[in-house]
Structure 1
Amino acid sequence: QKGGVGKTTCTVNLAAGLAKVGQRVLMVDLDPQGNATMGSGVDKRKLALSVYDVLLESASVAEVRVQSPKLVDAGCSYDILGANRELAGAEVELVSMERRERRLKQALTAVMDDYDFVLIDCPPSLSMLTLNGLCCAHGVIVPMQCEYFALEGLADLVNTIKQVHANLNKDLAIIGLLRVMFDPRITLQHQVSEQLKARFAEKVFDTVIPRNVRLAEAPSYGVPGVVFDAASKGAQAYLSFAQEMVTRGQKF
């Protein structure tokens, strides 16, 4: 529910990292800004079909999913359910429809056997789109900056997840908290990190994603940081996170 914490960066780099270690991945972009789509090398302005068509049940996931040639060439390709500005209209249209919170879940059921992981990039608000994501997910990865306001936002998110779990999706849980944009030179960040580990224990991922300019540069080239500069500290951290996610996914 907080903007600017790296949800999209986390999604595209985890997708690329998982693909690189041999997992079959589908990435679903549920944000009308379409940043995850563009950051995966797909031009949102040229999409013939998008996740909007999936939610309105005018097309299936198999018909809508695409791959990025850039990622195929890099050897870490994953399927993409792209989004663009059309998706903002779905928000209004879904309100009056039946099964409005479960449309994505129903659509994904048909292709679940095709993938080891389905990653859903949600918008930074508790909207009908976010609810569709939470209703079909088995778990939530929470990217967190180690700052005071992030702790407050986390409390709100945990309450939201509890409500969705109680009313709409009994399978929903927190998979883990991912510390992102971490700067080891700042004392406060270490203090908040320790607070997180004390409060959430094994729910905190071992991997820490450092603040890294190469990760920030990658979207302007239309590729995840893992592909843009594989040797960078940020890319290496996301590859470690992908490995950790495979292990935790099996337990989860």
Structure 2
Amino acid sequence: MTDRSGLGGDTDTEEARRAALVDSLPRPSADTPLLAELQLDARRRIELKGRKFPRPERTRVITVANQKGGVGKTTTTVNLAAALAQAGLQVLVLDNDPQGNASTALGIDHRAGTPSIYEVLVDGAPMHEAVQESPDVPGLWCLPATIDLSGAEIELVSMVARETRLRTALDVYLDWRTTQGLEQIDYVFVDCPPSLGLLTINAFVVAREVLIPIQCEYYALEGLSQLLKTIELIQAHLNPHLSVSTILLTMYDARTNLAQQVAEEVRTHFPERTLRTTVPRSVRISEAPSYGQTVMTYDGGSSGALAYLEAARELAERAAPGAARNDIPAGVPAGSAQEDQ
């Protein structure tokens, strides 16, 4: 049987080899920012390439959300998903955005008429009839979005249990995989539009965790307080198990004081939720979707790909058996998180 946790008899030897290679790298100083960047990429390449990430005890369902547009929600969704799948995990992306950008980046067919999340939400079609596997990354699956989804907001208004239709469909799909003898899905990522409508509410209700990408630019925290209030309302009325577990800083440029100030401010407000890893501005990240790929397959050795790979490792290790819990409910001060009852 494959050891999906990444633990084997020669684990200590492999870790020692990686550590020795990292120690042999030249030491940068404050006067050598370019060397520091190259050293960081080299360290990540040594430590992460070919590594298997730990499997969570149960399926983690994570909605990637931010009411502010252009912060890298879809980019973060598809690249974290691809990174985890490359590390030996089974990952499903639910493309809940009518633009269908996540489907494009994963190389998934989402032309009009393709079975999609629209049929699942509006017609109650079984999810397994619409889920497709990514052609580039084994173990990475996607429920695509087509242009039909743009009309779903209106059609859902009059439906029974309109806020829980995605959760019900996902539960049935996960049970179906079990009955078919398929591997358990380890991670489900939900990509949603920036507007707060029934599609986004469905995304919050289906999840247990929220991951918020925040760009390291001016107005980065604008709208975040409103997003947290929205999540608190979802917790109170529709999904008491929902929590803001993770914040990821994106579009980080270490050469600017502004990026450093924004990063410091976010870490001050949300110290336990913010990942240590920051995702840099990267031409490769921007180019990849135009080729129908994530940056993980487009240029896996680029700074952007290595940053998402390290962020994925952080995300996975936080949920590893025995790891400290980090899923703090919205509005609860750091340090007072409680286990779900």
- TM-score bracket, shorter-length normalisation: over 0.9
1:191-228 deviation per Cα after TM superposition (whole angstroms, max 9, x unaligned): 11111111111111111000000000000000100110
Distance 2:220 2:236 in 1: 24
Deviation at 1:84, TM superposition (A): 1.2
What amino acid is aligned across from residue 122 of structure 1 in structure 2? C
Q: How does 1:34-183 map to 2 (within 5 A)?
A: 34-45=100-111, 48-69=114-135, 71-72=136-137, 76-112=138-174, 114-183=184-253
Instruction: Give the secondary structure class of the aligned counterpart of 1:98.
Output: coil
Distance 2:319 2:192 in 1: 20
Deviation at 1:46, TM superposition (A): 5.9
- State the partner residue of 2:83: 17
Q: Decide whether the 8 Å contact of 2:215 with 2:250 is kept in 1.
A: yes
Q: Decide whether the 8 Å contact of 1:122 with 1:129 is kept in 2.
A: yes
What amino acid is aligned across from residue 195 of structure 1 in structure 2? E
Counterpart of 1:199 (choices 269, 274, 283) is 269
What amino acid is aligned across from residue 177 of structure 1 in structure 2? I
Deviation at 1:158, TM superposition (A): 1.0
> Which structure has more helix as a fraction of its residues?
1
TM-score normalised by the chain length of structure 1: 0.95
1:141-176 deviation per Cα after TM superposition (whole angstroms, max 9, x unaligned): 000012341212211111111111111100111011
Residue 306 of structure 2 is aligned to residue 236 of structure 1: yes
> What percentage of residue pairs aligned between the two structures are identical?
47
Deviation at 1:47, TM superposition (A): 5.5
Deviation at 1:67, TM superposition (A): 1.3
Query: Structure 1: 5+ residue runs without aligned partners?
Result: none
TM-score normalised by the chain length of structure 2: 0.70
1:46-99 deviation per Cα after TM superposition (whole angstroms, max 9, x unaligned): 653000011024411111100122x14xxx441100001100111110000010
1:16-74 deviation per Cα after TM superposition (whole angstroms, max 9, x unaligned): 001011111110000000000011001311653000011024411111100122x14xx
Q: Decide whether the 8 Å contact of 1:143 with 1:177 is kept in 2.
A: yes
Residues paired across the two proteins, number: 248
Query: Structure 2: 5+ residue runs without aligned partners?
Result: 1-66, 179-183, 328-341
Q: Which entry has the higher C-alpha Rg, 1 or 2?
A: 2
Residue 95 of structure 2 is aligned to residue 29 of structure 1: yes
- Structure with the bigger RCO (C-alpha within 8 Å, sep 6+) is 1
